[in-house]
Amino acid sequence: MTLPQARILVVDDEDSILQFVSYNLKKEGYAVECAHDGDEALALFDAAPFDLVILDIMLPGTDGYEACRRLRERSAVPVLFLSARDTELDKVVGLELGADDYLAKPFGIRELQARVKALLRRATAHESRPSGGHDVLQAAGITLDEDAHEARYGETLIDLTPREFELLACLMRHAGKVLSREHLLREAWGWQYLVETKTVDTHVKRLRDKLSQAGVDPGVVETVRGYGYRISA
């Protein structure tokens, strides 16, 4: 899939936003469909796959948060929140639900286009990566299979969201090394435009909770004060 062939679903209850985003993405060569609420978006997604979903939060009926949660039950499709709600809490909630990026309204079309390209490029690179033993990582008694998208501690499957999985994979690729929050955002999220680095702290806490539930000592993910995190080699 080349980037201009990607199918994008844009979800917003404002016709002016739908027309503006749709027009400019179509100019870039993307195939674009629009939905006015979460229920319509989910129905369209179930009818045919999309390569990216651009999702407003404040929608009638099923809002963007709930639509994102349901999308994550169906697929690992990249999700970009596009919303007038721009507090840190709004961003953290969206990211915890599995969104890949967050752009506040009002926004510039060039920035939106750049983020769309970055998300599609990263998704395409992940899909085209050849399978093989090098995609199985091991550290701190954890085995992580990037191709199967599974992490295990012994025979116990560790229940992770897509973002928690990417965060753990990043730490394990660099086991024993200290990674800054900025590094983790770039590699685990794939963002060129970074949100607050506190997002990493929130996800590390949730990752530790999931590791503990699977029987892993959560202390294997160590906080390096004033810098970032590392996982035991």
Tell me the pLDDT tens digit for each residue of 150-204: 999 999 999 887 778 889 999 999 999 999 988 888 888 765 444 556 778 888 9
pLDDT tens-digit map of 126-152: 555 544 445 799 999 999 998 888 999
Claim to verify: residue 200 and residue 142 sit in the same structural domain: yes
Claim to verify: residue 141 and residue 185 sit in the same structural domain: yes
Domain range for 201: 133-231
From the list 117, 93, 112, 138, the residue with the least C-alpha distance to 233 is: 138
Claim to verify: residue 152 and residue 63 sit in the same structural domain: no
Domain end marker among 106, 128, 150: 128
The predicted model scores a pTM of 0.67
Residue appearing with tokens 């506190």: 198
Residue length of the chain = 233
Claim to verify: residue 10 and residue 117 sit in the same structural domain: yes
Claim to verify: residue 97 and residue 186 sit in the same structural domain: no
Q: Report the distance separating Cα 230 and Cα 221, nearest Å.
A: 6
